[in-house]
Structure 1
């Protein structure tokens, strides 16, 4: 008689996020929920809170202000410090962030550290390379386009959105990189979208109910326009283009930018051509009723649209990582990048239900969810799901 092998020990997972917008924290929260479901204790810290002298709050204030009022400045900073070949290999904040992270590690004694933000990845890699972090550091990349400040050879492994990103990471730092499925809440999964796991009950209202709730007419084709949690980018121009076409009703997700919501509300609501919404907790229902999503940052909302089976068109990307991200998603074949106004309308017209272009695009996006879930690649002792990710992606010889 044989006995089953004992289950591997499950310890504390320390997730290191950043309150820069809402995407990183949303990924951290969903990952923590999944880990708790398999018996792990998950703790989440904000790397900005680990910086002394309120430097984290200052960074957030500066970044938000620049993205709203002077995006050209962030584009310059990004090119010089994030992607230039002459850029420093580590952030100036790495050492101070690492000191704060070391204190948290001593207190919580985790089994693994999981950064989901680039400064956090730098800090964990710094500690690991210097022997000050005794447990593995596994970086979860939340961007398709990975700039150099995500990368530190001290980290043990990287979890990436697609094979191309994984190859680039391993080539850059020589560390194992695995593909993993996007980390989105289960309520976004659409029946028939090819995404495993049932949707959360009660989150999907009928299309007619959604239209009535946001003041649109029955039969309007809803195109969600995402501006992120801070309401950034040239989304007013996008909304105007869609409304004037007469074919689409733009519904702009303005996040917590009340000034933008009021301005677009007057522009769209007065003409009965669309709507401007503030922060929403019912995004799954809105996506389920949408014809398409128009996005400008390649962030978490795109992954949620992928899960919902909603095609994604990117247009007028925000400065810096936004531009690189939308191009990387288009190269991966999971979205369409429209460079000009006519391209935007042409791309949307080609996404009619029943046309092969829509089916192919949503199928490629849904295929992202057939790879290993991130939580299965984190904990020491848990076997890797060999059918989904048989080996780390390695650079070509």
Structure 2
């Protein structure tokens, strides 16, 4: 595609793979349309290695002290009594301002809530000369996604778009989820690397890129039925992978770039984070059941998906098995798959980024 001279600056964060995955796909699509798109990790805008510390701290909390992350989330992410501007926002704002002056983009698009706060902070004070667009990657948009300096929001499902518009009074446009195009191209099960399941239905157990949550307990529940073979997606957690391969039930997979092939043979997916993997499952036509979600945004996102009719929320092991049993060629399965597929009929995010508010 011939370059158009247009530039978009995309702010992401290396806090798991979801934010970066959305940012990378948006950049790829913009570039295919001749728009120069640069992705910047907003954590690198923080001085004195604070970004690295923030990433490591978050990983430690969700991996080893989820109760602590739940407390942090409650106080800072959803409480109305939290400070309106965090010190992290102020520390990074100056460097973002310098970056915008140097790159001269026509808009700044944030795919992470801290980025949304930083861009909104500058915009509200007339220090950001271009629109601040926030692409909400969560199914439940907590207050840190929302800033009065934001010009426009893009949301990947109707319920989120309605909630954000009601909370902010700003345009909140619905866009088709940003997944790689191969997820929408259904593949034959024979291409799947899972291997023979000896009559058991393969059920993916997603632990996100961090490989966290109580996925081992979930795998044991599935294996005990004799009807479902757990296929645990361990992300980049090598310790979890080794532990499951040594003594865990079912199959344990490391981080893979061929998830479209894995989805091709999956009966369903049990998820605990309500992130990008769920939207990839929707694209691939794989129904999602939420079980033992990680605290904070994981639990809120799982509840939001279930309320929207996009997934099933199982609160116990018995409910998990019952939910999976109900998906065996039933109208409930067809409805879940249809509602997930319908999300992709919305306008493309790259078109909305480059156009006026709807």
Q: TM class, shorter-chain normalised?
A: over 0.9
* TM-score, normalised relative to structure 1: 0.87
- Report the alpha carbon displacement of residue 103 of structure 1 after superposing the two structures with TM: 1.4
**Residues 158-167 or 56-65, more deviating:** 158-167
C-alpha distance 190-336 of structure 1, shift in aligned 2 (>3 A): farther
- Report the alpha carbon displacement of residue 166 of structure 1 after superposing the two structures with TM: 1.9
Q: Of the candidates 203, 211, 227, which is equivalent to residue 247 of structure 1?
A: 227
Cross-structure match for 2:11: 16
Answer yes or no: is 1:291 the counterpart of 2:261.
no
Answer yes or no: is 1:87 the counterpart of 2:92.
no
- Report the alpha carbon displacement of residue 83 of structure 1 after superposing the two structures with TM: 0.5
**Partners of 2:118 and 2:356 in 1: CA distance:** 27
- Report the alpha carbon displacement of residue 264 of structure 1 after superposing the two structures with TM: 1.2
Cross-structure match for 1:160: 155
**Partners of 1:131 and 1:282 in 2: CA distance:** 45
Checking the alignment, whether the CA contact within 8 Å between 1:97 and 1:120 is kept in structure 2 is: no
Cross-structure match for 2:253: 277
Q: Of the candidates 20, 44, 51, which is equivalent to residue 49 of structure 1?
A: 44
Q: Of the candidates 308, 316, 323, which is equivalent to residue 347 of structure 1?
A: 323
Which structure's CA Rg is the greater one?
1
**Partners of 1:175 and 1:350 in 2: CA distance:** 40
* TM-score, normalised relative to structure 2: 0.96
Superposed counterparts of 1:189-268, under 5 Å? 189-191=184-186, 204=187, 206-210=188-192, 213-268=193-248
Q: Of the candidates 131, 136, 143, which is equivalent to residue 136 of structure 1?
A: 131
Checking the alignment, whether the CA contact within 8 Å between 1:97 and 1:119 is kept in structure 2 is: no
> Aligned to 1:224, what secondary structure does the other structure show?
strand
**Partners of 1:365 and 1:113 in 2: CA distance:** 29
Cross-structure match for 1:196: none
Answer yes or no: is 1:109 the counterpart of 2:104.
yes
Cross-structure match for 1:358: 333
Checking the alignment, whether the CA contact within 8 Å between 1:298 and 1:325 is kept in structure 2 is: yes
**Partners of 1:383 and 1:91 in 2: CA distance:** 30
- Report the alpha carbon displacement of residue 289 of structure 1 after superposing the two structures with TM: 1.1
CA RMSD of aligned residues (A): 1.7
Cross-structure match for 1:31: 26
**CA deviation vs aligned residue, 1:326-374 (integer Å, no higher than 9, x gap):** 0001111111110110000000011112x10110111011111111111
**Partners of 2:335 and 2:87 in 1: CA distance:** 43
Checking the alignment, whether the CA contact within 8 Å between 2:191 and 2:264 is kept in structure 1 is: no
Structure 1 runs, 4 residues or longer, greater than 6 Å off: none
> Aligned to 2:313, what secondary structure does the other structure show?
strand
**Partners of 1:232 and 1:63 in 2: CA distance:** 12
Q: Of the candidates 118, 126, 142, which is equivalent to residue 121 of structure 2?
A: 126
Unaligned runs of at least 5 residues, structure 2: none
**Residues 182-191 or 290-299, more deviating:** 182-191
Cross-structure match for 1:194: none
**Partners of 1:56 and 1:66 in 2: CA distance:** 15
**Partners of 1:302 and 1:176 in 2: CA distance:** 25
Checking the alignment, whether the CA contact within 8 Å between 2:26 and 2:178 is kept in structure 1 is: yes
- Report the alpha carbon displacement of residue 162 of structure 1 after superposing the two structures with TM: 2.3
